[in-house]
Every structure is written in C-alpha cells, then in structure tokens.
Structure 1
C-alpha cells in the first residue's frame, strides 16, 4: 500500500478516527475526574564519591567504580528494605501523633490509618515513646505475613503501602557528586514527611553498610594478630629457655671464642711440651753429674717439701696466667703466686747452699754451680709440668664444650627460623590490620553523606493528572485507531480498487460496477452511469474498428457465480441501446425476467451449446424466443457465459468473440484457482480478456472514474 492510498484509506475512515478518540477521552474524563492531585518534593544529597577527599587524598577518578558507587546508592534508596523501614517509621509516627492529639484522627490524611488498623490494634502498637512505638511496629511487620501491619504495608492504600512509594525516585545529577531524590504523593505534608524519613533511613543504612564492610575484616585480622603474637612469644620463650638451659649468651661469639681459645691452647701446649722436654733433659743431665751424696741432699725431706710446694704454686700460677681473668684482680693474684713461686725456689736454693762445703764434684765441676743449675732446671720442669697438667685439663674441658655446643647450633637455627617466620607473619598481619583500620577510618569519613537541600513542602500541585490522562487517551485512541485501520488495510488481500485488482490478477480493468444499494444516492447513480458509458464507448470503438464479418460478439463471464455478470450484461445492453447502438443480449436459459422490451433478449441452452460447440448462428437458431426469419443481426451481441469454475463454455462461440469482459468482485481475494481458470479461458479464445470490477465502493469508484 502506497502512502497516498494509506491517506485515502484513513480519510474514508474519518468518522471512526474521530469517534474513537472522543469516546476514549470522554470515558477517561468520567472515570478519572476524581483522581487526587499529585504533589512532589525533592532533596539533594552530596556524596563526595567522584571528587571528595579521603585519607589517601582526592578521590580517584575511576569511571567504572564511580558509576558502580552511584548505582549502589540510588538502588539502596529505592530498595524494598529502605521503603519498609520508612513506612514503619511513618506508621509509628502517625500512631504516636494521634495518641498525643486524638483530634488528628478524623482528618483525611489518617484515613488509611483508621481503615487499616482497628482501634485496639493501634492502642497495642502505641508505646510510651516514639522509639518504642517504632520498634513495636517493626517487630510486628517482620513477624509474619498475616498480621495487620504486614497487610497494611502490602495493601494498595495511598499512605502506608509499598505501592505508595512507587513514585520514589533517585537520580544521579550529571557528572556531579549529587544525588537527587524525589517523591510524589497526594498530600503535601505527607510528601515532605515521607521524603525526610527516606533521607534519614538512607543515610543510616548507607553508613552501616559501608562501615560493616571493614568491621568483619578488622575482626579477622585482630584474631590473626593475636595468634601470630602468641606464636612469636612462644618461639621467643623457647629461645630464652634454651639459651638459659645451655648457658648461651651469644652462640656465634661463644663458639668462635671456644675455637680461638682451643687453637691458642694447642699452640701453648706444644711450646710448653718442648720446654718441659728440654728442662727434663737438662735436669737428668745434672742429676747424672751429681754424686750420691749430693743426690741424697736433693732428696731430703726439706727439698722434697719445697719442691711439692713449688709444684702446687706453679700449677696455680699456670692456671691463673693461662685461664684466669685478665683484670686488676687477676693480675694481682698472678703476681702474688709468682712471688710465692720465687720464694719456694729461693728456699730450695738456700737449702742446697747449706751443702756448699762440698765445693767440687768428682768430675772437677764445683758443686755449688751444679746445684744452682739443678735448681733452675728443677724449677723449669715443675713450672712446665704444672702448665701441662693445667693445659691437659683445659683441653679436656674444650673437648667437652665442643661436644656440648655442636648440636646446639642446629637447635638454635631451628628456633631462629621459627622466630623469623613468626615475626614476619606477625608484621604482615599487623600491616594488614593497620591498612584495614585506615580503610575503616576513611570509610567513616567518606560515609557521612551531606544533605544539600532539605525536603521542601510543596505549595502547588505538580500537575493535573486528569489533563494528562485526557491527552494520552485521546492521542492514544487516535493512534490506535489509525494503526488498526492501516494494519487492516495492509493485511486486506481483497481487490478493492482497479489498480490493486490489475496488479493481483494481471488483467486490465475495462470498467467497474458500484456495490448494490437499496436506495442509491444520486452521486452513486451518476458514477455508475459514467462507468457504463465509458464501457459502452469502448465497445463502440472496438466494434467500429473490427474487420471481422458479422456482429461484434462480446462475451461476459465470471470466474465464480454471483459476481455481477448478469447485471453488467443487462446494464451494458441498456446503455448501448440508449447511445443508439444496435445491440442484442443472450443469457443462459434459466435467467428469465431480464427482457426490457427495448433490447432484444434471447436465452440459449448453455449446456447443449457447450456440448455441441455451436457457433453464433446455431445458438440463435436454438435460442428462445426465436428471432424472426430475415431479421438482420445487430451490430453488437452481448453473450453471458456461465461461471468458469461452475459450468461448461460454448467453445464454438468462444472462437468468434471479439472481446471478453470478466466480472470480478472487489470484495474478495484473487486465488491461484482463479488465475488457472483465466489461463484456460485465454487458451480457448483469441479475444482479449479484460476485467470489470464489481461491488466497488463509492469512494474507490470516485477515485477511479474522476
């Protein structure tokens, strides 16, 4: 369907396009004339999400994170939990107000309260304070789904139901840090009060949600920190007990000192062994030179006692010199022991000198000199012997110390590793705990949203819903009707107009017949007459230009019955006669009552003509009433055929046709069977086949003829 056709279709349905919107508008006004007026209040909240300041500095410009944060806040405002808490507070506040001021209850604002909660239920919920009343209402609302408060919240009332808060909206204002919250209600004070409660509940829930995110994390890290501290303390206590049990101050230094002292002891032991061996050899040599008498003197009780004393003093001196404390006290003690050793050596020398009378040895060496040498070697032997005894004892002590400290190193390393791991774990948990506490502090700073504009008390209604509904219903009715008409026109497969019929059938349209009416108007009669005259002039032109002998034979048929072929034949014959043309009409037998007296009308046996294949001459012979002999044939002969899909056609007559008019109803669709019947007719006659569209509406006829 083209655009002009669409506009013509809508123009033809102007009454429907006008009536439906008017009816819808009137219905809307009737049913919506008592709708309550809507009041709107809004508030603006500053969030600081996009450009606010935190402990870490300015807020980061992460587009996705910022949008996610704003979506969380706007969704939290319109969440069911927020709405339910607002309604509980609003209900508790109204219960408290009506208890303090019973005269408020008859007001229209409290109509839903009176109808939703009986007096006994209101008394039961109203406590001694507003906070206690809120808690009572909240407890009952969350108890089950069958109590009065729960039913009131889930009902369709305009004050205390979740449905009443459907006009609550939250919007992020552009690229700013602001969120605008709007609410619409039928009462201005209720609108402002509800929006105030919404902001209170939202700010509280937002702060609780953001702070609770870090509370559980901090609790976890505090528990882990306690465990890490216990593990570290346990490892350090084990290290302390181990060092105390094994007398360890600094294992590395102690082990190094032991190794150093052992090496030094080994060196001194070697040197002392050498000195002892030399002194012992010299002493044996002197003993060999002394006589028996001198030997007896040296073996006397006084000398032996002095030697024993000298040996003890040298042993103490050697122990003090080698392993004593190297301080003033140790030096003084060493000096004292040295003095005692010198005194013991001098005493031995004095005892030996008492025998200086024996001045010469048997070998000629003076006895006094040999005795002095003997005393010196004896002192050296005793001194080195004492040192060797002390060094051997210390060497055994070093061996035992080595055996004791060797396994201690591995244990100390294990304890050190345990302390190191425990310390690292402790420090890591402590760092995470500090970071979480910083995040919590930052959240506490940034979670304090600020109200920029407090909820206002609307003085004027937002809009008149009745006017808006009237406009919507009227325009919607017009659009719906126009769409329905256009859709039905697009879906309509009937032929309707000559242009559409020619496109679908592939046949040229020679003329048209208007739809039958009981009392046709003058305009319809005029259009019908003009169409017949155009068709008659077309036949006149065709009959005058044909070169075939005899009358101009016109066949009038249809694909199926009741499509106006008889009406066309009769009307066309009358029109041709009126125009002065010599015309005759032939109808199949059984269509009596069509003779007018002006146009010769004959009836022929259609089935016999089809079987016998009669030409026009034979048809006229067997037609009734019989044509008088010698009467000339008219110039134009109109022959009506049976329907192509219902009867047989006179094949002999088809070959003589000069024109075929096929009537097709404009109120039906063109089917493949119709096309097949036309193809068969086209194959049986050489005459051109044209279509006459019947049952055309006045509007379509006017478009086609004018």
Structure 2
C-alpha cells in the first residue's frame, strides 16, 4: 500500500512533466501528419470456374481438396514476385507513355507522372533509360525494360522494384490483397494507394498479367510434355517399323511363311515317316528271311539259274524299277512324277517278271526236288520274295533318306523359331511401349484442351473502376494513439526511475531505502523557490521537528542534562544549521538550550574526546537543560559508543536530495552495532527537502488556495474529504502570515 501511495505521489509530483511531455509529443505528431491524405481503394472480382466449371479430366464428383489447391495456386500466382515484377514494369511504362504533366490523362494523374518522370530523369542513368520508352508501343517498352534490367544495385529498373518506391516496388505491390469469397469460384482483389491513377492501373494490369502468367505457366509445362511425347512416338514408331521389316526380311531369307503351321506339318510328316519306316523295316526283314528259307530248298540247278547273267540283269532291272515305283509312291503329291511314267514303270515291271518266269522255267530240269517240293513253286516264290525284298529295301532306303531330311529340317527350324520369337517379343514390347506413349500423348492433349477451357473460364467479373474520392484518414486515431503512448511511456519511465532511484527525498522513501524512520524535514533555507514563504516553511518545519524531539526527552543523562546528538555520513549535510534552528526554537520556548559543534566547541582529535565516557569529559556544562551536540561526519571521525549511549536521541542529518549510497549504508550499520539493542531512538532528519516532503510532517503549508488544497488532498489520497470554503478565515490567516514575516 505504501508503494502504491508513493507511486501516486510521484506521478502527482511530476504531473507537469507528464502533461507537458505528452502535449509536446502529440503536437509533433499532429504537425508531421498535417499532409496526411486518405488512400484510394480499387476492387475487382475474378471468376475462376475451378469448382463449378466443366472439367474434361475429372468425373462428376467434386474433389474439394483439389479445388482448394487450385484456388491456392491461383492466389499464389497472382501474388508471386514474377507476376508483380511484370506489373511493375508495365505500370512504369504505361505512366511514362500515357501520362501528361499538366492534366489527368488515360487515368493517370499529373502528380504520379511528374513524380515518376522526375525520379527517373534525376537518376544517374535517367537519359539512357528514357531512350527505352517507345511512345508507340507499351509491349515494346516493357520488353526493352526487361532487357535492360540486371540484378545490380546500381541498375535503376532493378532498384525500382526491389527498393522502397511508393508505386512500383515489391514492398508496395505485395500489399495487393487476394481473397477467395467463401467457397465460391470468385476471387476478390483489392488494393489501396495514395494516387487514384496508380491504384486503378495497377489492378487493371494485374488482371491481364495474371491471366497471361497463368497460361504461360500451365501451357509451358504441358507443351513441353506434348513435345516430348511426340518425339518419343516418332522414335518408337521408327523402331517398330524397323523391327517389323527386319522380321519380314528374316522370314523371306529363311523361306518361312507360317512358322507354327510349318512346324506342325513337319511334325506330322515325321510321325508318318516313322510309321512307314517301321512298316518298311518289317517288310524288309520278312522278305529277307523268306528268301533265306527258300534258298535252302533250292538244288544246284536252281541255284545255277540264279547265277545266270541274263537272269541277274533282269533281276537287277526289276529291282531298279521296283525302287523307282516305291520312291514315286512314297513322295508327297507335290513331288510325285506324272502318272504316265509311273504306269510305264509298272508295266515294264510286269514284263520283267514274266521274263524272269520264262528264264526260270527254261532252266529247270526236274519238276520236283528230292524232298518232293515243286521246283517251279519254289522258284516262283523266290522270285516273288526277291521282288518284295527289293521293294522293301527301296522303301526303307527312301524312308530313311526322308527321315534324315526331316532331321535337317528340325535343325533348321529350331534356331529359326527362337529368333522369330525373339524378334516378335521385341516387336510386341516396342508396340506396347508405343501404345503407352500414345495414351500418355492423348492424355497430355486432353489436359491441354482442359487447360484451354480452364483459362477460358478466367473472366474478370467486376472490372476495376477508377476511384473518385479518397478514404478518410486515420490521422485522428494516430494522434490519439500517440498521445496515449507518450503518456504511458513517460509514466513508465517515471515509475522505473521511482523504483530504481535511491534518493531519500521524503519520509516514506527514506524508510524504504534506509530502513530508518524520519523524524522531520527542513526545506532549503537558501532557495528562492518559495519566495517570501520560505521563512514560514522553515519555522513550521523546525517547530514540528523540535516538538518531535521533545518527546524523546524523558530522562536526564549522567551529567544531568537532556542530550540530542546530531551527526551525518558526509560533509555539507546541514547538521549545524539544523542544530542552530532547533536550539533557537527551544530557546524561544524558554528552554535552557545550548548547541555545541565539533568545529568550535570541542576538538575531535583530542584524547578527551576519543576516550570520553560522557559529554563532560571534553565539554564543561554551563547549567543547560538541553544540550544539542553536532558531531563530525561518520566518514571522517568515529563517535565514541559511550556518547551515543549517553544521549536521549541520535539524529542522522542528511540532505533529502542526496542518494543513499553503499558507504552511507555501511556507516549506519556500524553505528547500529555501536548502539546495540538499546532503546535509545535513532532517527533521520532530512534537509534541503521539497515542500511536499515537509508537508508529510507539518501538514499543508501556505498558501491555502483552492488549487493548493485540492493538490494537497489528492497527494494525501483524501479523495472524498469535504472541502470547506471560508474565504474570511483564509484571508485572515494569510494576513497573519504576512505580519509574522515582517
């Protein structure tokens, strides 16, 4: 509670500083905001068609996450640095091309044109850049500026965007607000600036540049993908054609028409020849066995017939004809000879058989063998079996030759089949790759068409309009905020000083800083601050101080007098002046009082003083009742403990406008150790105190005007105390005070 009261008193004491400081700062803000003008707002609405527009790539269900992502992308593109850079260059070019220094033209004010032109003209490279301005083409001017722009701090166009220009810089343009309207397809664009032409043209250019930037970004990536797929389709198509032509050439080279059917046919023929080989081998073995058996039953005459040359020739001819007939019958239809040749061979074979029969009949002498078998029958059978044997032998040879040819065909078709399958797999892989790329190519074309539809839906629903009137300024709010802020800052600084300051100043602060109570406060007697009332203030303060000290004079000390000790921690504290004032006041009350000082009445360097047990050891009493003793500062000389204990009160005199330092604290702690736990009062008396500090002891000091009464009662927190206005009494008291001063 004491801290709160002390804080309030501090603020009240510095009330003029707070009020004047706040007023000065507020007046400065008012002065510097005198030219403040309201900004111009321009708004536009863009329809995107992202959520409700037709989309070739999506189904009927709406993916809200994709929609939100698309809207965020649109907002990011609109607020992107690259987009705003193009807006900056086009706005700069438009102002210089369409502006007029004397009148508003094409929505561009003379002030914005003159500011832009002069700013450019006065730059180091101004004349060089002015040559880039083509009055006939805005696009060409923008292209020239883009070419001239380089990332260097001395480049004017680069600095125009990246420095703090009020119209064209990135810091100014990034204040363009883009916001989606709830969950709709609409984007609200708003911008505010101090020039109506600049703000209007900025939003107008942004609408155009945004659409172009969106198309440039989306079409750029899609066109690159489409170009990639086109090149891949050409490459894979050429590869596919080459592989197919290579397969065709291989089939022609190997004389392959249909590999699967041909291999099936070869397998069937191989099975057929295998069966025929078995039949031919069986007939060959059977006829050979039969011939061997028949030859066993032949006699010498019959065997001689077999060795006859003519017979042998006819038999060889029959064998050859039989071989040709068997070979002709074994061939496929595509390899058979004509029918006439075959019939001719069969006819000749019959003739040869008849000739052989005739030869055998002419050589046989006996009709029967010794075993009783008919020779004619044996020869006929032998001849028949010989012909069958030759036929079977020829057929077996033909079949075996055919099997060898089939084996060669197997050897031929085996690697051919593997190679064909490998080539077909490569063609199949290339074809699937071609179809995949073709599908991706079609999807890219579909996406491009969808982007064209999406870009077509980007429509400016509400065109930006040229602002006619400016907005109201917030100058009033700025002034009020400055006033409040300055007031709070000054108060905060004062409170901070109040908490950290160790100047004694008044009774409450003295108690808080030193830990000792104050017994009184005396104003600065040499000050002219209070005019003619200074003497009155001193009298009232000394009176209150003396009355407070008289309360401690309850018991005489060992010399038989009342002793009041006055001392200080440093020089020029005013203890001698305080002692004289107290002594004078007590003498005016008819009290036998005497004031002695270490400077005149005793020697602090003498042995009597240093070893004194009581006051009479170094000073001879002269019948005083009250003795006021001023000792040297504690920092210069020590006060004997016996003298401190042989006193009614020990008063530390210190100026109120002096800070309580560490040495002061240390000296007082040593003094308290000397006093020990005795009940001798130890108090502090403030000198050079302000009137407010004196009033804590004396009450309100004159003059008793209404303002002074209100101020005093407010400082004492007597907020609801009743004020009695008695002008006659007030005038009488002031007259008495004037008589006393005289």
With the length of structure 1 as denominator, give the TM-score of the two structures: 0.80
Is the Cα–Cα contact under 8 Å of residues 211 and 443 in structure 1 kept in the other structure? yes
Select the residue among 470, 474, 484 that pairs with 1:475.
484
Select the residue among 519, 523, 527 that pairs with 1:510.
519
Once residues 101 and 520 of structure 1 are traced to their aligned partners in structure 2, the CA distance between those partners, rounded to angstroms, is 66
Query: Match of 2:504?
Result: 495
Once residues 362 and 44 of structure 1 are traced to their aligned partners in structure 2, the CA distance between those partners, rounded to angstroms, is 134
SS of 1:41's partner is strand
Q: Gapped runs of 5+ residues in structure 2?
A: 700-715, 717-742
Map Cα deviations across residues 624-656 of structure 1 (whole Å, 9 max, x no partner). xxx65xxx331x322111111122324442231
Is the Cα–Cα contact under 8 Å of residues 217 and 436 in structure 1 kept in the other structure? yes
Query: Match of 2:368?
Result: 362
Deviation at 1:553, TM superposition (A): 1.5
Is the Cα–Cα contact under 8 Å of residues 664 and 692 in structure 1 kept in the other structure? yes
Deviation at 1:587, TM superposition (A): 1.5
Q: How has the CA–CA distance of structure 1 residues 16 and 174 changed in structure 2, closer, same or farther, with 3 Å as cutoff? A: farther
Select the residue among 558, 562, 567 that pairs with 2:572.
562
Once residues 169 and 71 of structure 2 are traced to their aligned partners in structure 1, the CA distance between those partners, rounded to angstroms, is 27
Map Cα deviations across residues 66-116 of structure 1 (whole Å, 9 max, x no partner). 57x666655544444333322332343344435999995994443235424
Is the Cα–Cα contact under 8 Å of residues 44 and 451 in structure 1 kept in the other structure? yes
Once residues 694 and 249 of structure 2 are traced to their aligned partners in structure 1, the CA distance between those partners, rounded to angstroms, is 120
SS of 2:639's partner is coil
Query: Match of 2:545?
Result: 535
Is the Cα–Cα contact under 8 Å of residues 319 and 390 in structure 1 kept in the other structure? no
Query: Match of 1:311?
Result: 323
Deviation at 1:674, TM superposition (A): 2.1
Query: Match of 2:723?
Result: none
SS of 1:396's partner is helix
Query: Match of 1:291?
Result: 302
Q: How has the CA–CA distance of structure 1 residues 576 and 435 changed in structure 2, closer, same or farther, with 3 Å as cutoff? A: farther
Is the Cα–Cα contact under 8 Å of residues 556 and 640 in structure 1 kept in the other structure? yes
Is the Cα–Cα contact under 8 Å of residues 291 and 362 in structure 1 kept in the other structure? no
Query: Match of 1:281?
Result: 289
CA RMSD of aligned residues (A): 4.4
Is the Cα–Cα contact under 8 Å of residues 53 and 59 in structure 1 kept in the other structure? no
Q: Is the counterpart of residue 195 in structure 1 residue 203 in structure 2?
A: yes
Is the Cα–Cα contact under 8 Å of residues 38 and 465 in structure 1 kept in the other structure? no
Map Cα deviations across residues 571-618 of structure 1 (whole Å, 9 max, x no partner). 33334444554432222225xxxxxxxxxxxx3323325334262123
Q: What does 1:442-457 correspond to in 2, within 5 Å?
A: 442-446=450-454, 449-457=458-466
Number of equivalenced pairs:
675
Q: What does 1:250-649 correspond to in 2, within 5 Å?
A: 258=266, 261-262=269-270, 264-286=272-294, 289=298, 291=302, 295=306, 299=311, 305-320=317-332, 324=333, 343-351=347-355, 361-363=367-369, 369-370=377-378, 373-374=381-382, 376-408=384-416, 411=419, 415=423, 418-419=426-427, 422=430, 426=434, 440=448, 442-446=450-454, 449-464=458-473, 466-515=475-524, 517-520=527-530, 531-544=541-554, 550-579=560-589, 581-590=591-600, 603-608=601-606, 610-613=609-612, 615-621=614-620, 628=622, 632-634=623-625, 636-649=626-639
With the length of structure 2 as denominator, give the TM-score of the two structures: 0.76
SS of 1:544's partner is coil
Once residues 495 and 276 of structure 1 are traced to their aligned partners in structure 2, the CA distance between those partners, rounded to angstroms, is 150
SS of 2:327's partner is helix
Select the residue among 657, 662, 667 that pairs with 1:677.
667
Deviation at 1:13, TM superposition (A): 2.5
Q: Is the deviation greater in 688-697 or in 232-241?
A: 232-241
Query: Match of 2:58?
Result: 56
Is the Cα–Cα contact under 8 Å of residues 563 and 694 in structure 1 kept in the other structure? yes
Map Cα deviations across residues 628-687 of structure 1 (whole Å, 9 max, x no partner). 5xxx331x3221111111223244422312221112334344333322211221232343
Once residues 50 and 533 of structure 2 are traced to their aligned partners in structure 1, the CA distance between those partners, rounded to angstroms, is 77
Query: Match of 2:711?
Result: none
SS of 1:661's partner is strand
Once residues 648 and 115 of structure 1 are traced to their aligned partners in structure 2, the CA distance between those partners, rounded to angstroms, is 81
